[in-house]
């Protein structure tokens, strides 16, 4: 199995890049999607979150209240650590389960919002693709698609893997500062490269 990690900061266009790979028939395992599934109404981990943080962080329909939790983890670093301790092992287990379902594909994209070079996923990833843009572009894109203000977005960027660290880890960098059409063209070019060169080198645990 050959696994390509796809990462990028908020507003970089990582989700659109994942869509571009998907349109080319590449299987996508998205940690953001998995996190949403695990914290949907009445999922077991939501009950654990309520026990740890209080029922105030659960919506009326039994899902994680993302807005309240986002505010908490940005105000209290220890809360972020506690939440990650609950979520990350469950997300990893589900990601591995999904990756195992795509062993017949030439390669699979693993979309990771926060990639740590020495983290749990480093042992199963073969290549790292970074979708990159400047911070001003990140802020403007997120403002257009959400109700967050500039300072909230800056706080989110500060909590993510630094841009310089992402770029240092990258095997391939896709600059995404223009339009979706150009992004898709760059993804298609990279896809052709991977189809020709992907040689499985790691085993899913």
Average pLDDT over residues 181-189: 96
Report residue 201's pLDDT band, with 50, 70 and 90 as the boundaries.
low
pLDDT tens digit sequence for 104-142: 888 999 999 888 877 889 889 999 999 999 999 999 999
Tell me how far apart the alpha carbons of residues 102 and 134 are, in angstroms, rounded to a whole number: 34
Give the model's pLDDT for residue 60.
93
- For 143-174, the pLDDT digits (tens) are 999 888 899 899 889 888 899 999 999 999 99
User: CB neighbours (10 Å) of residue 142?
Assistant: 21
| pLDDT tier, 50 (very low <50, low <70, confident <90, very high otherwise) | very high
pLDDT of residue 23 exceeding 90, the answer is yes
Q: Considering only CA atoms, which of 96, 86, 97, 99 is closest in space to residue 39?
A: 86
Pair of tokens at residue 33: 């999607």
Is the confidence at residue 89, as pLDDT, over 90? yes
Rg of the chain in Å (alpha carbons) = 17
pLDDT at site 204:
65
Which positions ≥6 away from 96 have C-beta within 8 Å? 124, 204, 205
């Amino acid at each position: 199995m050959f696994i390509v990690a796809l990462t990028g900061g908020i507003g970089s266009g990582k989700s659109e890049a994942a869509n571009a790979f998907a349109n080319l028939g590449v299987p996508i395992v998205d940690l953001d999607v998995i996190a949403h599934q695990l914290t949907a109404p009445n999922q077991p981990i939501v009950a654990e979150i309520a026990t740890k943080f209080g029922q105030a962080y659960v919506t009326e329909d039994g899902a994680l209240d993302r807005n309240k939790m986002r505010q908490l983890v940005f105000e209290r670093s220890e809360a972020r650590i506690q939440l990650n301790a609950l979520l990350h092992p469950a997300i990893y287990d589900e990601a591995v389960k999904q990756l195992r379902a795509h062993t017949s594909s030439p390669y699979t994209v693993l979309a990771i919002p926060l990639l740590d070079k020495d983290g749990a996923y480093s042992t199963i990833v073969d290549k790292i693709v970074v979708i990159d843009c400047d911070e001003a572009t990140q802020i403007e894109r997120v403002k257009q698609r959400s109700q967050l203000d500039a300072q909230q977005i800056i706080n989110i960027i500060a909590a993510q893997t630094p841009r310089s660290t992402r770029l240092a880890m990258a095997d391939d960098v896709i600059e995404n500062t223009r339009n979706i059409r150009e992004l898709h063209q760059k993804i298609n070019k990279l896809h052709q490269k991977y189809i020709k060169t992907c040689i499985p080198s790691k085993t899913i645990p």
